[in-house]
Amino acid sequence: MSKKKVAVLVGSLRKESFNRKVANQLIQLAPDSLELELVEIGQLPHYNEDLELNVPKEYTEFREKIKSFDGFLFVTPEYNRSVPSALKNAFDVGSRPYGQSVWGGKPGAVVSVSMSAIGGFGANHIVRQSMVFLNVPMMQQPEAYIGSAHTLFDESGNLVNEGTRDFLKAYIDAYAAWVNNF
């Protein structure tokens, strides 16, 4: 079986983002059947259909890169009961022009990470809702809502909570099975 290439998109742009730290943990814990790669989204100009007349190179590069993957893993915080604008913008850039989406037909999953106790529940479901329209079948179980993220890492960014590490390992293993059976 060949490795499945999976794009990891992190909704938080902050350098010391807990979401990025969780994404890096998932990359480290991934089984050999997956090749996970962080895909940066902060450089994308805000989607504006007028820009399709003279497509920004960032749009073209992003779309081509996303096309090369076999699946997607979204790791996101919740901002105002939704997703960060950078993540939504990435969804929009990849889905346009209409009828030329680069997302469709590839398996996805979402992990939401938050300092709150409810672990970004709203953002998790907003991603799922968007993926329905973008034709990205999402892994249903296990769900991943990582709460109290500020207590999970030491000053060097190392995950110090074994229960969370065990959960993330089980999650990425389930995702690998989902992608490999797709």
- For 68-98, write each residue's pLDDT tens digit: 999 999 999 999 999 999 999 999 999 999 9
pTM score: 0.96
Cis peptide before 107 (omega within 30 of 0): no
Q: Name the band, by pLDDT with cuts 50, 70 and 90, for residue 117.
A: confident
What is the rounded CA–CA span in Å between residue 114 and residue 147? 5
What is the rounded CA–CA span in Å between residue 129 and residue 117? 22
Is residue 65 within 8 Å of residue 37, measured between CB atoms?
no
User: E strands along the chain, which residues?
Assistant: 4-10, 34-38, 71-76, 108-113, 144-146
pLDDT tens figures, 131-175: 999 999 999 999 999 999 999 999 998 999 999 999 999 999 999
Residue ranges and CATH numbers for the domains of the chain are 4-180 (3.40.50.360)
* pLDDT for the residue numbered 119: 81
What is the rounded CA–CA span in Å between residue 5 and residue 34? 6
Helices 57-67 and 85-95, interaxial angle, to 10°?
80
Is residue 113 within 8 Å of residue 120, measured between CB atoms?
yes
Which two structure tokens, joined as six digits, stand for 47? 């989607």
3-state secondary structure of 82: strand
